[in-house]
Structure 1
Amino acid sequence: MYRGRRRVSPAVALLLASLGVLSGCTNAPPPPVVESTSSTPTSEPPTEPPKPKVVVAGIDELRGGFNPHVLADQSPVTDALSEIMLPSVFVPGEDGERVLNSTLMESAEVLEDTDEFTVRYRIRTGASWSDGPPIAAEDFVYLWEQLRRQPGVINPVGYRLISDVESRQGGKTVRVTFEKPYPGWKSLFDHLLPAHLLKDAPGGWSDTLDYGYPASGGPFAIRAFDLDRGEVVLMRNERYWGPPAESDRIVLRAADRSENLNALRSGNVQLGMFTADASTMEALRGLGEDIQLTTMPRPVTSTLLLRPNSPQLSDVRVRRAVLAALDRQALVEAGTGGGPAANLPAHAQVLAPSQPGYVPTEPSGEFADGPDPERVARLLTEAGYEHSGGKWIRDGAPLNLVIAAQFRETSYEAVANSVADQLNAQDISTTVVTPKGDELYRTMLATDPGVQDPPRSAGIDLAVAARPVSADSAATMAAQWGCPAVDPDTGRTSEFNMAGFCDQLLQPTIEAAVTGEVPFRRASERVEPTLWSGAVALPLYQEAQVLAVSREVSGVRDGAGFAGPFSSVGEWVGAPGESYDW
């Protein structure tokens, strides 16, 4: 803030003028003129404005796509930006349990005097987006409408149970009615989006968030976004109704790991978020005690899906043969590079290792220490294949499996290539494809059950995919393993889950867990053994980031639950830094 001479108010000026007139009317002679012999200046010299407080955060990569609700955009940077700028109704408390976000909300409660399960939300009057409009019911409506019908979204189950969202009291009260009781309702309406800017925008849900968020409902807003330079500049949001941010500016700066490590060492970067392998961890530890390191598990499990709706994997014996051909530990090593994520091996189909209540559900002895060629041969032979000319052939056609991994997801591509190498070693032919995220999750894995002969682009047999988890484990189970839902507006069956799995015998148990009729633990005890015996997915590891914080910045907290360190960004106190012209 610039500091200059104090401006005299009009009232004070008038008073001084009046005193001057009065003094001019007296008979006293004017005081003699005396020359000053002091060298003290008669006014304060102009001072330089204080430099803004800046925190520069080094990140691995910056690429387009920041919708936190779609699978294709999942990344640590999306996690960070959504925590900074997109408000949530409930947030993790100190113990990880969901608590009301009192900065955004006045209240959220289940109404007792209604025939249907109904929740009333009251939004704070002052809560507004950085471009002026209030955060209101239309933002709830927009998120509900998108998540219940768009393909490739994360945990849509709770939103599909909603029958109506009503706006009241100028949009500051929201009344949400559910078709069935839903005990997991506190997991809904995370990371609200500015509906007034998205609902009619060209590209809307699919493309508008490719370059950040057009407005913010948090303590910072995007000032500059440069994919080419790999930099995002966040300025304090002057319209934020909550406590003002301690720092003036947050800069996210993408660089390769060696550059980020050097920047941490020199002080040009005060905070780093790394997807670290073993060598990166060694280099980080070499930075000394001035850099504090924390492993941050992400709400995502890296999983190999074996899709039973694929013609080549429709036979469970073939799926089991594929698993018998794999060295699971080698796949984990390929994906993690021996980094901290390797210490979070996943041995359950729904919960991630760091979640409360996680216990391994994998049957003992299900996977050998390495490939089992004899079992591979036996299972494929039982499925009608013959080994001839170095290939497995049935009905004149070789077994050739298509393995998909998202383009530019380095760890997923590494796992997919390792799967291919291991299957090839057992004479199972493979093809690895790396489609872009939108194509993979919105089209290729979200198979329409109404199409008997899916297009060639949907012919994916195996996929290395992100499996997000949420605060509502029952809804996660339903999203990942439930049968296709029916769109309440069109009556049309929606897409399969990513694995293309549906068990009509399990479906009542899954639905009962979502509505609270059956506790999640009891439902899981029935669902998990069926998934393992069906060989439809091989969980590998929970993804993790390493947070590196220097002593130059204070106020950085790990974040309860999966909130992450950027949930405390308003409390970060950075060092004085250079100003930006933009």
Structure 2
Amino acid sequence: MCAAVASTAACTNTPPPPLVPKTEAPVITTTGPKVTEIVVGVDDVAGGYNPHALSAQSPITTALSSLLLPSPFRPGPDGAPQLDRNLMVSAKVTKADPFTVTYTIRKDASWSDSAPVAAEDFYYLWQRMRTEPGVVDPAGYRLINNVSAREGGKVVEVAFGKPFPGWRSLFANLLPAHLLKDAPGTWSNVLSTSFPATAGPFQVSSLDEQRGQVILERSDRYWEVPTTLDRVVIRRSTHRAMTEALSKGDNQAVLLRADASDVNLLKEIKDLTTKPVPRNEVVQVLLRPETEQLKDLKTRKAIIAALDRDALIASGTQSGPSATYRADSYVIPPSRSGYQATIQGNTLNPVAADQQLTEAGYAKNALTGIWEKAGKPLKLKIAAPEKVEPYVGIANRVKAQLAVRGIDSEVVTPNAEDLFSKQLVEKDVDIAVVPRVDAGDSAAGLASAYGCVVDPPDGGTPSPQNPAGFCDPAIQTDIDAALNGKVLLSDALARIEPQIQAQAVALPLFQVVDLLGVLPTMVSGVDTGAPLAGVLSQAPEWRRLDK
């Protein structure tokens, strides 16, 4: 990489520091200045923590990356990207042909080990996002032809093969390339257990997955205004334990995936305010046309008609905050501007399901009640990421609904990394219950979720296909036009979404929405955060009122 970017970027032969810092909890004494901290209760703190991996999507990943990793742009109050002047001097389009964006990084911006935030961090992320399977919205990165550097790596020039109006969504959550590019292991190891270096107002003091606690302390190496708080503690606990901790004042805030009973439980706490916090993920059921069982359109249509979408949504949301964020669009989440409902009513249609299976050459066995073709049962493999809800629960509900219609299936729950980087690449899964993640640019999201993959012009490693294993040349022209800004996204979606629906490759259900509970008598500034940024994105401005 040093040969590629920099002729101006710093290189060293000094061995990097250990990739996994010690995670023992610090010893807190009762003498000396009183520590000002805010404790936030959460459902889990388990890794990995790579915000670019579909397998690592969670509130804790969003929270930690927003505080510990640098981004040229961050979501503003309306969700639109705004230049982060804590990191950047400027970022702008400097050439129309080829379309080129020039980023100027502050000279004092550095990682916690004193290495500069520089062009090699941009280059590393570009290379990984264009070639690794299971990454979030890679389409924009695949338009880039080159990343080069000037002025000691502090000026980065990114040249695109085609115009990309959504360029501000790229390079969020930069990773420390100087530690990762030559580290042993693969992309799956990146931030799998902790952060080898950070570049933000906080740093990791302790990250203990077994105890379920993350302690973030004010970073002495941060070059901008220091945080008001000394420490933020993120602590795993059950929902009842969170409630008790709030009642005692041991927790000042909680963020949980709540059902109706949790909502009622929190209502009993005096002075507590609650607000919904939409995640950047929509729960969806993918029917993958690349597999032998589902390559036939009639079979996929039969599966859709056999599913009770309303019941799947009800079982997944459990009358919690997510229930009001029903996802009736294939691309834009309900919480985002530009969202338009394109899916009308329920999908369940037993008569249509039977008719489509019959036309696809199947017949129902009179003894077993199972649909067969040439004496072989139609059996589907349904996958969901291990121990990740609501995905596993919905996968089992899909299996039960199909069984009622005489369609045999099995549910497998591989670990998330294996699911996204292997099984969805190797055509081993017929139906996947997985998130569709919104990284900020809906045109890139459209291309990443449903676009065809083109081999890179430089002859490099071919890009992986989308998680659905779907490619329809009939809609690719519209997808490309939306991605390159030749047509309005809304106009493109008006043509594309009905065709996606007709191809029966995806069934969106709902946007996952957490519930934030805050004690305003104890803290100020703790709010929902900007769209996509998460609650902890505002932690540098949080204040403790009772200390």
**Which residue in 2 is equivalent to 1:481?**
450
Q: Does 1:103 align with 2:56?
A: no
Of residues 330, 338, 355, the one that matches 2:336 is 355
**Which residue in 1 is equivalent to 2:54?**
71
Superimposed CA distance per residue, residues 24-68 of structure 1 (whole angstroms, 9 cap, x where no aligned partner): xxxxxxxxxxxxxxxxxxxxxxx9633010111111012120000
Mapped contact 2:136–2:439 kept (Cα < 8 A): no
Identity %: 46
* C-alpha distance in 2 between matches for 1:232 and 1:425: 45
* C-alpha distance in 1 between matches for 2:474 and 2:350: 33
**Which residue in 2 is equivalent to 1:247?**
229
* C-alpha distance in 2 between matches for 1:255 and 1:147: 34
* C-alpha distance in 2 between matches for 1:192 and 1:565: 20
**Which residue in 2 is equivalent to 1:118?**
100
Aligned-partner SS, 2:140: helix
What letter corresponds to residue 230 of structure 1 in structure 2? G
* C-alpha distance in 1 between matches for 2:240 and 2:454: 47
Equivalent residues in 2 for 1:25-424 (5 A)? Answer: 49-112=32-95, 115-288=97-270, 290-362=271-343, 364=344, 367-368=346-347, 371-388=348-365, 389=367, 390-424=369-403
* C-alpha distance in 2 between matches for 1:115 and 1:433: 48
* C-alpha distance in 2 between matches for 1:471 and 1:225: 28
* C-alpha distance in 2 between matches for 1:489 and 1:59: 45
Mapped contact 2:51–2:173 kept (Cα < 8 A): yes
Give the deviation of 1:537 after TM superposition: 0.6
Mapped contact 1:305–1:499 kept (Cα < 8 A): yes
Give the deviation of 1:575 after TM superposition: 6.2
* C-alpha distance in 1 between matches for 2:460 and 2:222: 42
- Structure 2, unmatched stretches of 5+, are 1-29
Superimposed CA distance per residue, residues 113-163 of structure 1 (whole angstroms, 9 cap, x where no aligned partner): x63111111111111111111111111111111111111101111111111
Aligned-partner SS, 1:121: strand
What letter corresponds to residue 435 of structure 2 in structure 1? A
Mapped contact 1:54–1:575 kept (Cα < 8 A): no
What letter corresponds to residue 67 of structure 1 in structure 2? N
What letter corresponds to residue 355 of structure 1 in structure 2? R
* C-alpha distance in 1 between matches for 2:141 and 2:409: 38
* C-alpha distance in 2 between matches for 1:64 and 1:109: 35
**Which residue in 2 is equivalent to 1:430?**
409
Give the deviation of 1:495 after TM superposition: 2.2
Deviates more, 1:529-538 or 1:194-203: 194-203
Aligned-partner SS, 1:111: strand
Give the deviation of 1:491 after TM superposition: 5.0
What letter corresponds to residue 303 of structure 1 in structure 2? Q
Mapped contact 1:155–1:475 kept (Cα < 8 A): yes
Superimposed CA distance per residue, residues 405-464 of structure 1 (whole angstroms, 9 cap, x where no aligned partner): 0001021011000010111011111100001111110111134xxxxxxxxxx4211110
Mapped contact 2:526–2:542 kept (Cα < 8 A): yes
* C-alpha distance in 2 between matches for 1:473 and 1:412: 23
Give the deviation of 1:342 after TM superposition: 1.1
Misfit runs of 4+, over 6 Å:
none
Mapped contact 2:282–2:511 kept (Cα < 8 A): yes
The TM-score, its normalising length taken from structure 1, stands at: 0.86
**Which residue in 1 is equivalent to 2:23?**
none
Give the deviation of 1:576 after TM superposition: 7.6
The verdict on how the C-alpha distance between 1:491 and 1:189 changes in structure 2, with shifts beyond 3 A counting, is closer
Mapped contact 1:52–1:576 kept (Cα < 8 A): no
**Which residue in 1 is equivalent to 2:3?**
none
What letter corresponds to residue 167 of structure 1 in structure 2? A
Give the deviation of 1:401 after TM superposition: 1.0
The TM-score, its normalising length taken from structure 2, stands at: 0.91
Of residues 497, 508, 526, the one that matches 1:556 is 526
* C-alpha distance in 2 between matches for 1:459 and 1:395: 22
Aligned-partner SS, 1:464: strand
Mapped contact 1:301–1:542 kept (Cα < 8 A): yes
**Which residue in 2 is equivalent to 1:19?**
none
Mapped contact 2:74–2:83 kept (Cα < 8 A): yes
Give the deviation of 1:90 after TM superposition: 0.8
Give the deviation of 1:322 after TM superposition: 1.1
- Structure 1, unmatched stretches of 5+, are 1-46, 448-457, 578-582
Give the deviation of 1:210 after TM superposition: 1.3
Equivalent residues in 2 for 1:498-537 (5 A)? Answer: 498-537=467-506
Deviates more, 1:312-321 or 1:298-307: 312-321
* C-alpha distance in 1 between matches for 2:332 and 2:77: 20
Total equivalences in the alignment: 515
What letter corresponds to residue 140 of structure 2 in structure 1? G
**Which residue in 1 is equivalent to 2:463?**
494
Aligned-partner SS, 2:474: coil
Mapped contact 2:43–2:256 kept (Cα < 8 A): yes
* C-alpha distance in 2 between matches for 1:303 and 1:62: 24
Give the deviation of 1:87 after TM superposition: 1.3
